[in-house]
Amino acid sequence: MFNRYLNKWHQIPSSFKTFFFRALTLFVIWKSIYLLFLMPIRVMDAPLTQSIGIGTAKTLNWVTNSVSFTSHSVVLKDQTETGIKLRTQQAVYYHQNNIVSIEDACNGLELCVLYIGFILCLPSTTSRKVIFSVVGIIIIYLVNIWRCAGLTLVYLYYPQNADFTHHYVFTFVVYAFIIWLWLLYTKKLTIYAESN
């Protein structure tokens, strides 16, 4: 039985195996660094979540031609089995009413890492990887701000559609942009399907 699976493994093109091992290695390294060091002290999450909230409020003020939207950091206390745990969010307000709260999970950091990880796993020139990484991160950041701004307007004017819009519509839009960027990146790449 083991030999059967080993034979199947040898039939997989070497380019796919290289991609798979690179992706797995990057995933393990990123998750280890993030979960053990970066997430507990919010070294990347705090400024990113805050800038998404501020960008959302500024975008909404620009779109609505007003100054009614603001963004503030809010510290929440969650009761857990081990005691009280503090959790920070970036809240978007409309006339002092909290409409949307942006948590670290929604700041787009994982999307940027996923996007860059895919680019790093495919063969290409260093300059192409750098250009697509930098431009892609900027686009993902801006799309995430527009996503949060759109969600704020939905929560404000169409609250009955908020859950569906949040979990499906805007999620689809963000991933569609990422896939579009990946397609642009792979357009001129030559990936050889060699077998060992």
Predicted pLDDT of residue 151: 96
Domain-embedded: residue 61: yes
Please write the tens of the pLDDT for every residue from 53-109: 999 999 999 999 999 999 999 998 888 888 888 889 999 999 999 999 999 999 999
Domain-embedded: residue 67: yes
Domain-embedded: residue 40: yes
Domain-embedded: residue 182: yes
Per DSSP, the three-state class of 177 is helix
Predicted pLDDT of residue 190: 61
Domain-embedded: residue 41: yes
Asked if pLDDT for residue 24 goes beyond 80, the answer is: yes
Domain hosting 139: range is 9-186
Predicted pLDDT of residue 191: 54
d(C-alpha 46, C-alpha 87), whole Å: 11
CB 164 within 8 A of CB 101: no
Domain-embedded: residue 32: yes
Domain-embedded: residue 152: yes
Cβ atoms within 10 Å of 96's Cβ, excluding its own: 7
Predicted pLDDT of residue 8: 80
Q: What tokens appear for 100 in the block?
A: 């949307």
d(C-alpha 84, C-alpha 54), whole Å: 28
Cβ atoms within 10 Å of 70's Cβ, excluding its own: 17
Number of domains in the chain: 1
By the 10 Å C-beta count (0-12 exposed, 13-18 middle, 19+ buried), 58 is classed as middle
Please write the tens of the pLDDT for every residue from 27-54: 999 999 999 999 999 999 999 999 999 9
Looking at per-residue confidence, does 10 or 121 come out higher?
121
Predicted pLDDT of residue 194: 42
The answer to whether the Cα torsion of 62, 107, 167, 174 is positive or negative is positive
Asked if pLDDT for residue 111 goes beyond 60, the answer is: yes
Task: Record the pTM.
Answer: 0.88
Asked if pLDDT for residue 178 goes beyond 80, the answer is: yes
Per DSSP, the three-state class of 44 is coil
Predicted pLDDT of residue 193: 42
Domain-embedded: residue 193: no
Predicted pLDDT of residue 14: 85
Please state, rounded to an integer, the average pLDDT across all residues of the chain: 91
d(C-alpha 68, C-alpha 87), whole Å: 26
